[in-house]
Structure 1
Amino acid sequence: MTTPQKTGLTGPEPTATVTVKPLVLRAPQRGEDLHVRVSAPVTGAALPVVLFAHGFGSDLDGYAPLVDHWASRGFVVVQATHLDSKRLGMAADDPRRPRMWRHRVQDMQLILDELGTLEESVPGLAGRADHSRVVAAGHSFGGQTAGILVGLRVKDPHTGTAEDLSDSRIMASIQLATAGKGGDELTPFAHKNLPWLRDQDFSHITAPGLVVAGDADDLPLSTRGPAWTTDPYTLSRGSKSLLTVHGGEHFLGGISGYQAAETTDADPGRVALVQQVTLAYMRHVTGTDHSHWEQAQSVLTNGHPLGRLESK
C-alpha cells in the first residue's frame, strides 16, 4: 500500500494480479534449470514487461513491495532465481562462482528468448504482453545485471576483456542501490571476494535509465561512501535520472520484502517513494503515461523530506 500523503505523489489505482511460479526453463549451460516467476495484472492489453534481477543471495520470491506495486498497475514482472541465491546453496569452490555475474546476464537473455513461452504459461496472459517494451531493473548485484543489459562493460577477471553484453531488446533500465566503478575505490574485501566489481565502465550506457541511491548507503565495498552508488548516473551517458532517497540505506527502507529482516532503515515512506517514482518512470519511458513522471520531477525538488529527483 502506498502512502501518497507522505510522498506527495499520485499514481494509478491498483488492479487484481495473477502470479505463477516456478516456471522452469531448461538451461543446461548453467548447470541448473532456470526457475522463473511471472506476475501480471489480470486485465489489460499491450502490457510492458519488467525483467527484475534480485540482489546477491535473494531469489524469485523477493522484492514483493516493488513487484506487487508494478504488476498491480499494468506491468508484467518477470523474476528469476540466479545462481548466487542462498536457495541454491552454491559451494564456495564451485567453478561457476567467479562468473556468476555473467550467468545472471545469460539468465535474463534466456528469459527474453523464451518470453512468449512464459507468457503462454500464465493463465489469461497469452497475447497481452508487449515484447517491444521491456525494462531491465535490479537491486544491488541485480542493478549491475540490469546495467550490463544496456551497455555497462565489466572486465572479466579471468580473460581481462570487457565485452559488450548489451541486448537491444531492452529499452531502458532501473538500477537500485547499485555498485559504482571499481579500481582503487574498492575495499580489500570487495577486491578479493567480488572480482566482477574491479573494473566497470559506465560510459557505453546510452539507453534511458533511472538510478536510485540511498544517501546513507555506506557499503563495505567502497571507500567513497554512499556517493559510490550514484556512479551509474554520473558516469553514464544519455537521458538519465537519479532519485536520492534521504536516509536510505542499502534496502531503501525495505524494498527487498515485507518485514524483511535485513532491512535496517525500515520506513514505509521510503518504500512508497521508491514504488511510486519507479512506476512513474517506467510508465513514462514506455510511453504509457507521462503525467505522473512530470509530477514527480516537480514535487521532488530540493527540500522534499523523503528524497530528491534530478535528471540530465
Structure 2
Amino acid sequence: MAFRATASLRQSLKLRPAFELALRSSCLQLVLARWGLETAALMGLQGNQTANDDDRKLRAVEAITDAMYKSGLDDHATSAEKEMLEKPYRSWEYSDYVYGDNWEALGALQWLLGRQHVIPPYYSSFDRARLFRNTAIMPADPSTIENFVDTFMSSQIRQHVDAQQLQHAVNTSEAWIWRARAQVLLGLREEISNDTADRPGSQQETALEAALRTRHIPSSLRKIAADLPNTIPLAAKHSLDKGLIGSVESDDFGIVVEMKETPEEVSANQPRTTTVPYRNLDSDHLDALRKIAESRFMAFAWALGKIDTWDIEKTGELLSINPINAIWTPENE
C-alpha cells in the first residue's frame, strides 16, 4: 500500500497576544510620525520654508523622541527604530526614508486589532490619515500611547478577527506576495542575462543570488523563474477560484487603475476605471505593488510568529505563512 500523507497542508493560525500587536503598532506609528516630518523637511528644501516652520518641526521631533522613552516604547522598538528617532532633525539617510514602506504593515496590524475594518485591495494603499486617527495616539503625548496599549492589556481581550477572516487575509497576502516576487524574478532574469552574457554560468548565478537578496526574494524561488510565463496564468486562475483576487485579465492578476478623467467626471466625483494585467504596469507601479504586498506580508508573518523580529530582511527567508502558499494548496485543505 502506497504511503499517503495525512497531515493537513494548513496549520491553525495563532496570533501573538493583542497587547504585543498594539505595542508594535505604536512603535510603527511613532516612527512614521517622524518619517512624515523628515519627508516634509526634505520636500521643503525645494520650496518655501520659514524659520518658524523649521523650529516648530524641530520641537515636534524632540517631543516624539521623548514620548518613546516616557511611554516605555523604547523597550519594544527595534534598534533601527530607536536609532532613527534619536538622530538629529534633518539628518536622516536614504535607508531611513525607506521606513515609509511600513504604512501598509501598520494598516494590517490595525486590522488585526479591530481598528481598521477593511484591508484595501493589494493595488490600493491604506488611508494614512485614518490610520493615525484609528488609535487616537498623539505621537508627542506619551499618555495617548499608554491609553491605546492599555486597551489591549487584559488577558480577556478576544481577537477582533475570527479564524476564517484571518485565514482568508493570510491566503490573500500569500497570493499577492507570490505575484510580486514572480514579477521581480521575470525582470531579474533578463537583467542578469544581459549583464553577464559573456561570463561563466556560475558567475551569473552568483549575481542572481545577490540581486534576489537585495529584493527580499527567497533564493529557492529562482527555480521557478524559467517557467513563470506558464505558471502565472495558472496562479491567476487558482487565485480567482479561491477568492484571493478580484479578477483575471489576460491570464494575469487583474489590477484596477483609474483612467484620466474629463472635467465633467471630476466635478461629478465619478472616476473611470479599467482593469489591466499585472505585467502591463510600468516599473514605478510594479514597485509600489511589491512594497504593498511585502509590507502586509511581513505584518501577518510577524503577528503569527513566523518571523521573530520586525525586520524586512526576514521576509526574504520566508516562502509562505501556510506550509504551502495558498495559491497551490488543494481546495479541500
Q: What TM-score bracket applies, with the shorter chain setting the length?
A: under 0.3
Q: TM-score, normalised by structure 2?
A: 0.24
- Compare CA radii of gyration and give the structure with the larger one: 2
Q: TM-score, normalised by structure 1?
A: 0.25
Which structure has greater helix proportion? 2
Taking CA–CA contacts closer than 8 Å with sequence separation of 6 or more, which of the two structures ends up with the larger relative contact order?
2
Which structure has greater strand proportion? 1
